[in-house]
A and B are shown apart, each in its own frame.
Chain A
Amino acid sequence: MFFKAENYRHPAFMEAVRDLAPQAPGVAAWGLMTGVAMVNSGLSVVESIAMTLFVYAGSSQLAALPLIAAGAPAWIILATGFCVNLRFMVFSLHLRQYLMHLPRLERMLHGYLTADLSYVMFTRRFPNPSEAPEDQLTQAASLAGNTLVVWGSWIVASFFGIFLAKAIPTSWGLGFAGTLCLVGILCSLASTRMRIFAAGVAAVTAIAAYHLPLKLNIVIAIGVAVVLSMSLERFQKMRERQTA
C-alpha cells in the first residue's frame, strides 16, 4: 500500500502514478456522482462520508442506497453488496500469486484498495507474476502507486459530491465520464483476437443475463468468457498439433 516507504520510494510507484493519471478524471466524475447520489438518497453527511471512506466500492454503494432508503433488512443489503462484489473474488484469485510473498495484513490491504480499474491496469502492466524478489517489490510498488491515484481521486471527488449535492443535478449525466474511462481501458485491452472474443462473450452474456438480480450478470459474464476463451485456446492448440 502507498504509505509504506519501500513502496513509495520505488521508481515503479511514480511510474504507476503517471500511468493512472489520465484515468483520474473518469474515476473522479464517477466519485462525484456517487457522492451526489448518496446525499440525494437521504444519507446524512456523516453517513455519506463514512460510506465513502470505508466501503470504497462504487457499485455496491449505489446498489445499497435505495435499500437503505427503503429500510430493507440489513441482511438483504449485505447480501446485495456481496453479490455485486463477487467479481472482486475472481480478481483476488488472479492477484494471489502477485502478492502472496507479502505478510497477510499487507496483502489484504492491497486487496481492499484494489478496485476494478486498479486491477485491470495492474494486470495490463504486469501480465505475469514474478518469483524474483526485486521484481516482486517492483510489482507491489506499482500496485501501491496505482491504487493511490484511484483511491485519492475517488475519495476527493466523492467529498465534493457530498458537499455540492444540491448544486449538481444528476440529470447532467456527468457520471458518464466514468463509463467513458472504462471504454478507453476496454479498448486498450483489446489487443489480440482471443481477447476481443472474450470481450464479446462477456458483453453478450452480461446483456442476456441482465435481468438476474443483484448484478449477478457481471460475475457470470466473466466466468463464461474465461471458460469459453480457455476452451477455444485449447481447441486451437489441439488443431495446430494435429496439422503439424
Chain B
Amino acid sequence: MSFFEGTDFWTLAVIAGLTGITVLTRSFFFFSSEEWALPDWAQRGLQYAPIAAMAAVVLPEVLMQQGQFLQTWMDARWMGAAVGAAVYFWRRDVLLTIVAGMLAYLPLHLLLGW
C-alpha cells in the first residue's frame, strides 16, 4: 500500500477542523487574559468534576451493552472492572489494576465469548 493511497483533501480538512475543536474546547477558558476569579462556591463545586468525569465515562462503559443496561451477569467487562477495582483497593496500584483486570477479562471474553 502506498503511503498516500486513499488520502483525500476533504478528509484532511475535516481533521484540521477537529484539531481546531480540540484546541477550542481544551483551552476555552484560557483564551481571555482578563482578570476574573470564580466565586468560591463554584470553585469548590469544581472539586467534584474530576471524579464525576471518570465515573461518567467508565461506568456506562462497564455496565452497559449495546446501549442497554446489562441484561445478563455473564459479561466480561463488569467482572474485569470489579476484579480491577478490588485489586486497586488492595494494593493501591493502577498498573496492577490493569494487569489483574485484563487477566480476568481476557479468558472470559476470548474463551467464553462473554
- A94 sits at the interface (CB 8 A): yes
Chain A residue nearest to B86 (CB atoms) is A187
Nearest to A185 among chain B residues (CB) is B54
The listed residue (A23, A25, A54, A202) touching B16 by CB distance below 8 A is A54
Asked whether any CB of chain B lies closer than 8 Å to the CB of A186, the reply is yes
B81 to chain A, nearest CB (A): 5
Give A73-98 interface residues, CB cut-off 8 Å to B: 74, 77-78, 81-82, 85-97
Q: List 5 A-B contacts (CB under 8 A).
A: A113-B26, A180-B80, A201-B52, A203-B56, A225-B48
Asked if B19 contacts A181 (CB within 8 A), the reply is no
Q: Which residue of B lies closest to A207 (CB)?
A: B60
Is the Cβ of B59 less than 8 Å from the Cβ of A120? no
Known: A179-B61, A180-B84, A203-B56. 11 other contacts (CB 8 A): A44-B4, A44-B6, A47-B11, A55-B22, A87-B53, A92-B26, A107-B27, A182-B54, A184-B85, A189-B54, A207-B69
Contact A184 B33 (CB under 8 A): no
Which 6 pairs show the lowest CB-CB distances between chains A and B?
Answer: A111-B27, A225-B52, A184-B94, A184-B97, A221-B56, A202-B52
Interface string of A101-117 (1 = CB under 8 A from B): 00010011011111010
Question: B residues touching A (Cβ–Cβ < 8 Å)?
Answer: 1, 3-7, 10-19, 21-31, 33, 37-38, 41, 43-64, 67, 69, 76-77, 80-81, 84-85, 88-89, 92-95, 97-98, 101-102, 105-106, 109-110
Which of A10-18, A133-141, A151-159, A227-235 is the interface stretch? Answer: A227-235
Closest Cβ–Cβ distance, residue B24 to chain A (whole Å): 8
Q: Which residues of B contact A111 (CB under 8 A)?
A: 23, 26-28, 30
Q: In whole angstroms, what is the CA distance A129 to B102 when docked?
A: 36
Interchain CB contact under 8 A, B29 and A89: yes
A206 CB contacts on chain B under 8 angstroms:
55-57, 59-60
A68 and B14 contacting across the interface, CB-CB below 8 Å: yes
Number of A-B contacts (CB under 8 A): 290
Are A116 and B18 closer than 8 Å at their CB atoms? no
- Chain A 180-200, CB-CB to B under 8 Å as 1, else 0, gives 111111111110001100111
Q: Which residues of B contact A54 (CB under 8 A)?
A: 15-16, 18-19, 22
A44 touches B7 (CB 8 A): yes
Known: A44-B4, A185-B94. A222 touches B56 (CB 8 A): yes
Q: Are B46 and A94 in contact (CB under 8 A)?
A: yes
A202 with B14: CB separation less than 8 A:
no
Q: Nearest Cβ in chain A — how far from B86, in angstroms?
A: 9
Residues of B within 8 A of A230 (CB): 41, 44-45, 48
Nearest residue, chain A, Cβ from B45: A230
Closest chain-A Cβ to B71's Cβ sits at a distance in Å of: 14
- Please tell me if the beta carbons of B22 and A56 are within 8 angstroms of each other in the complex: yes
Residue numbers in B under 8 Å from A91 (CB-CB): 26, 49, 53
CB of B41, distance to nearest CB on chain A (Å): 6
B7 to chain A, nearest CB (A): 4
CA distance A97 to B7 in the complex (A): 42
Contact between chains at B64 and A210 (CB < 8 Å)? yes
Q: B51 contacts A85, CB within 8 Å?
A: no
CB-CB under 8 A from B62, the residues of chain A are 179, 183
